[in-house]
Structure 1
Amino acid sequence: MMKTLTTGRLPALLGMLLAALLCAAGPGAATASAHAALTSTDPADGSVVPTAPRQVQLTFSEGVLLNGDSLRVLDPQGARVDEGKPSHVGGRSGTAAVGLRAGIGNGTYTVAWQAVSADSHPVAGAFTFSIGAPSKTTAKVATAKIDPTVDTLYGVGRYAAYAGFVLLVGGCVFAGVCRTSRAVQRVAVGGWIALFASTAALILLRGAYTTGKGPGSVVDLSLISDVLATKPGAALLSRLLLLSAAAVFLAVLFGSYTREDDDRTAGERRDVAYGLAIGGAVVAIGLAATWAMAEHASAGLQSWLAMPVDVLHLLGVAAWLGGLAALLATLWTGEAIPRAAVRRFSRIAFTSVCVLVATGLYQSWRQVGSWGALTGTEYGRLLLIKVGLVTVLVGIAYFSRRWTQRLTDRTEPKKPKAAAKAPRNNGASPERAAQLARQQAALTKAAGQRHRDADEGRSGLRRSVLAETAVAAVLLTVTTLLTGTQPGRSETEQKEAGAAGATSPATAGPAEVKIPYDTGGTNGRGTATVRLDPARSGNNTLDVTVTDPTGRAVEVPELDVSFTETQQKIGPLRTALKHIAPGRWEATGFQLPMAGAWQLTLTVRTSDIDQVTEIGNVKIN
């Protein structure tokens, strides 16, 4: 049986839980891969055309947002030959095109592209085509790489925004339908503060996040202006405006409306309640829509239906998980809560679960697309984890309902007497008087806790709700990771597009290079095995395994891999490596623009001061 937690142990438990969540959220944010897959180009990657085209056109698996430098076309000497601003073809958001200058000569041209997916994630890559005949080129192309610090801060901000929304909406629903109290007010107001602060931080970080710049650029006014001109930026700004209305709503909900000693009639209070319900629903729906209009739901299949479904899903999550937090806060303070109020929340939670199941099934079908993607993609595996956590949460909720049935509405108990009275002052010094007052307060608090824990029904309910809240916090982390992970359907389309665009025979296999290294420090020797699959121009999967001299997988603090085409002087091209297992890193969707002999540069750091860079070669078909 679980022992009853004391108030002194609760902060330690919450601190450990918060640390675990930050550890889970930090690296997860950095693993977000490209969400818009490049499916075709005109001219085609690696093709030779007889005459210069009027424009270069790209087609993506979903909509992208463009800026003035989204498409750059470089001639064999590395000079830009594109003309005008990039634009969508025929108003289709899944396309991008830029014109070429008249009179450009023969040779090999490099196209570097960088955009933002319609679901707010940055994407980039490069490819080549030739006019007349291939030639040597000095074009240097480096794909944008998200700064690790910015990436981590942006991921934490996204998690804090989701958590704040859940606490704000769930706390207000609990206060309006079940019971309000000082503890519930702290939950709702704390959610408002977290959501407001994280949204403001995301606006500042967004420009650096999408352009690959460092933390110092977060106060760049030009970047902030560019962010606010995009759909994700407009959504964040709308969220801040809605939070201003939410602040007024909170003031009324927890202000004069909740006072039991006001002189309003029952009809007047009912009118205010209806007004609060309508106003709160409008604000909550608006806040949820700021996610739906800027992330996965706004791009891809059936976006007209996916966005309202996503809004319902978010509201269901908030009413359930935020209400849990409000119920836990009420139970933990020992405030009297009627059995009827707990039952009302139980009905809200059950309705929320039904909404989550219905909307979750649709979202899963839309984002995963196939049974194979459910286990064969990162998005699918995270979704399975989320389903497992929801199942655990529902199981714990079953025990909470059993404890609810054992609750009895008691008359308000008399305040417990302290175990001992503090000695009188008797002319003692102010310091001694303050010490005696603290002792009296501690005795009264301890007596109150004993009285609270003596109620078996409420103690059991408090323990089960605490367990539900802990699982809910982990569930919220997984949900945040899902919104930053490439959907399974999109990843499958990207792989199919890469396979369709490959020009080498289907029998060509992956390339593997073993690179020994020695950083000179303790445990500084080992071998890195770099595997590139299918080792063709276009999309590739990069897999790096690091082992010690005995062949055992080892961890290293830092690992970086880049590719350079020395003859054409393209690169170095890099991609973010995701740590997937001890001693193993992986990157999917890594694009190499052309076939040829590429130089592989490996940098390994084994301590704060021990680092080495080794060179290898790999053949790209």
Structure 2
Amino acid sequence: MTATAPHFGPSPSTHAPRRPLAAAALLAALVGMVFGLLLGGAGPASAHAALTGSDPQDGAVVDTAPKEVTLTFSEQVAMGDDSIRVLDPDGKRADTGAAPRDLQSGSAVKYGVSLHTGLPDGTYTVAWQAVSADSHPVSGAFTFSVGAPSKTTVALPSAEAGGGLVGALYGIARYAAYAGFILLAGGAAFVLACWQRGAGARPLQRLVVHGWMTLTAATLAMLLLRNPYTGSGKLADAFDLDGLKAVLDTKPGAALVSRLLLLGASALFVAVLFGAYAKREDEREKKDLTFGLAIGGTVIAAGIAGTWALAEHASTGIQPGIAMPVDVLHLLAVAAWLGGLAALLVALYRTPDIEAAAVRRFSRIAFGSVLVLTATGIYQSWRQVGTWSALTGTAYGQLLIVKVGLVALLVGIAWISRRWTARLVTSGAGGKGAEPRADARDEVEVEESRTPGTSDAMAEDPARAAQLARQRAAVATAEKKRIRDADPDRSGLRRSVLAEAGVAVALLAVATVLTSTEPGRTEEEAARSSSAAAAPAAEGPVNLTLPFDTGGKNGKGTVRMDIDPARTGANELHIWIDSIDGKAMDVPELKLAFTLGSKDIGPLPVVPVRLTEGHWTASDVQIPMAGNWKVAVTVRTSDIDQTTIDKNVKIG
């Protein structure tokens, strides 16, 4: 939402006020800053559904090739025909190419793909991509090995779904859609509820019409970008008709199409508001038309707000039946407050005759909107965050804290605006500024009287008459502007409302980013699900101390072992052997073996390499999966004296 500096033709004074120009520059800088934030944070959208498990697991080494690969998610996802791909070490498709099968049982969300038979040993890559229930794309990749790990020609994708240029454009379109809805709904509500004479004011008409155009263009852009945003990430696919058809069959696609249909109805509403309604003179007829437009406009605005609730966070998670109506109320309150604020700003800068009563009515509406926002915001925060740890420990919670801070700042500035409104009402609509100059409107006539035959020339020259009429209008308008700018109460109100608008622009940016960020509650639930699916992991490197006694001469000592990082996949081992007096001890032979009895894996042999006296090492030791592993160490101190010692350790 922007408000440009008013220009009412040449000013009769040589000292034209420059505050409007500075205000416009400030708003332009704020808008630039916000778009910079959007572009800077328009990277991949945070995951709204998390992969909580797979079979085989990430990094697992299995003896024989599985018949299928299954993936388990934290919440409902939408899968396409090519959403799960399994690639062999040479990069060729190892799955049959069929669409993923829904293996959901109970509350578990699971999908699987079948693999070809007779697959060779080596490392396989599983790449997946899906769409969360709240319309955001998610993706990932992991590897598992058959027989033993091997080199692979497949490079794991570094970019997540919803990123790149398409993700940035989609984020900008999302922001523009919110801004357009606020200007359309809030501007129209301001005219109907606060200043009905404003229906005939061209600046307010342009504001609302621009809001409609912005929302329509942004919705069309989101509809076209939806296919590459959730799929390939290539901008050219925005014009793929097959992809567009697939989008229309999804819930987000249906919501966007519904929004376009409602925008058609809103165009008729805007035409009546600024056409027949603005020209209506009869008070009774105008009152009836006001009631009809208010009812119809509310229904249309609620319907448009419902298209967001249908396809965003409110439609998933706990209590969606309550959350969606609450989300609609929240959006309507935002539009009434911020959209009305934009309309008031335009009216104060571009229309010199707005009444103080209209400002007072908007102040009451804004106060009611804040109450609604507070109630609905508390519920939404509880629903999306859930715990204090999620509020401070997740990206969603931290953004929510920023949003609450901006709302508090906005309310504080609004309180200042209310004080200026009270002063404006007390001083009267006319203000306490300079009185109109009696000679201002007669300047043109005085100039005419100095030129003999001017009246006859005007009668004979219509162009000259039109030029003089424009001059009279410019002088009258400039005089009104001079009187308006000289009113200190009105100027103070304009400055405070401009500050509100600047904070509102930043607030809208944060709210837009929140819609593409994983809610704190689901992020924590996904983390808990992932932890439950895996065995408890050790914290950092594992350190073991194993005393031994081979029974022969100098056969006693201690084995010290470090396993780093003690996780699935490649690990590095360092082993030291000390004699009973604590000195480094060399032995003829040292061997290790890892066994996971609960999964019948192992023993997996490891032969360390001697570095120096009493120090051995082994690199790239593969731990195929998390669990409670038994580490067996065989120490030989002579040709006939050896022993095997073991200890269980949790490796994740």
Task: State whether TM-score is above 0.5.
Answer: yes
AA in 2 matched with 1:68: D
CA distance in 1, matches of 2:465, 2:278: 37
What is the deviation of 1:436? 8.8
Q: Secondary structure at the match of 2:100?
A: strand
What is the deviation of 1:505? 4.3
Q: Which residue of 2 aligns with 1:448?
A: 480
Q: Secondary structure at the match of 2:354?
A: coil
Q: Among 123, 126, 130, which residue is 1:111 paired with?
A: 126
Q: How does 1:262-301 map to 2 (within 5 A)?
A: 266=284, 268-301=285-318
- Asked if 1:172 corresponds to 2:188, the answer is yes
Q: How does 1:339-418 map to 2 (within 5 A)?
A: 339-408=356-425, 409-410=428-429, 418=440
Q: Among 102, 105, 128, which residue is 1:88 paired with?
A: 102
Q: Secondary structure at the match of 1:321?
A: helix
Change (3 A) 1:536 1:208: farther
AA in 2 matched with 1:492: E
- Preserved contact between residue 386 and residue 520 of structure 2 (Cα < 8 Å): yes
Q: Among 234, 238, 260, which residue is 2:254 paired with?
A: 234
Q: Secondary structure at the match of 1:407?
A: helix
Q: Secondary structure at the match of 1:153?
A: helix
What is the deviation of 1:30? 1.6
What is the deviation of 1:25? 1.5
AA in 2 matched with 1:488: G
- Preserved contact between residue 48 and residue 519 of structure 2 (Cα < 8 Å): yes
**Deviation larger for 79-88 or 338-347:** 79-88
- Asked if 1:120 corresponds to 2:135, the answer is yes
Structure 1 runs not aligned, ≥5 long? 511-532, 539-593, 597-619
AA in 2 matched with 1:65: A
CA distance in 1, matches of 2:495, 2:103: 58
- Asked if 1:211 corresponds to 2:225, the answer is no
Q: CA RMSD in A?
A: 3.6
Change (3 A) 1:405 1:164: same
- 1:318-361 CA distances to partner (integer Å, 9 max, x unpaired)? 11000111111111124323333222212211111111111111
Q: Which residue of 1 aligns with 2:513?
A: 481
CA distance in 2, matches of 1:23, 1:492: 30
What is the deviation of 1:113? 1.0
Change (3 A) 1:350 1:537: farther
Change (3 A) 1:309 1:452: same
Number of aligned positions between the proteins: 515
CA distance in 2, matches of 1:220, 1:323: 39
Q: How does 1:94-173 map to 2 (within 5 A)?
A: 95-101=109-115, 103-105=117-119, 107=121, 109-129=124-144, 133-134=147-148, 136=150, 138=152, 140=154, 142-143=156-157, 145=160, 146=162, 148-173=164-189
CA distance in 2, matches of 1:15, 1:430: 42
CA distance in 1, matches of 2:165, 2:87: 31
- Asked if 1:22 corresponds to 2:22, the answer is no
Q: Which residue of 2 aligns with 1:62?
A: 75
Scaled by the length of structure 1, the TM-score of the pair is 0.74
Change (3 A) 1:432 1:500: farther
Q: Secondary structure at the match of 2:19?
A: coil
CA distance in 1, matches of 2:465, 2:274: 36
AA in 2 matched with 1:152: A
Kindly, what percent of the aligned residue pairs are identical?
A: 53
Q: Secondary structure at the match of 2:42?
A: helix
Change (3 A) 1:379 1:103: same
- Preserved contact between residue 126 and residue 141 of structure 1 (Cα < 8 Å): no
CA distance in 2, matches of 1:173, 1:92: 47
What is the deviation of 1:301? 2.2
Scaled by the length of structure 2, the TM-score of the pair is 0.71
Q: Secondary structure at the match of 2:517?
A: coil
- Asked if 1:464 corresponds to 2:477, the answer is no
- Preserved contact between residue 453 and residue 459 of structure 1 (Cα < 8 Å): yes
AA in 2 matched with 1:19: G
Q: Which residue of 1 aligns with 2:85?
A: 72
What is the deviation of 1:470? 1.2
CA distance in 2, matches of 1:51, 1:97: 21
CA distance in 1, matches of 2:429, 2:288: 31
AA in 2 matched with 1:60: F
Q: Secondary structure at the match of 2:311?
A: coil
Q: Secondary structure at the match of 2:20?
A: coil
- Preserved contact between residue 75 and residue 137 of structure 1 (Cα < 8 Å): no
What is the deviation of 1:72? 1.8
Greater gyration radius: 2
AA in 2 matched with 1:172: A
What is the deviation of 1:41? 2.2
CA distance in 1, matches of 2:108, 2:473: 66
**Deviation larger for 233-242 or 54-63:** 54-63
Q: Secondary structure at the match of 1:112?
A: strand
Change (3 A) 1:197 1:384: same
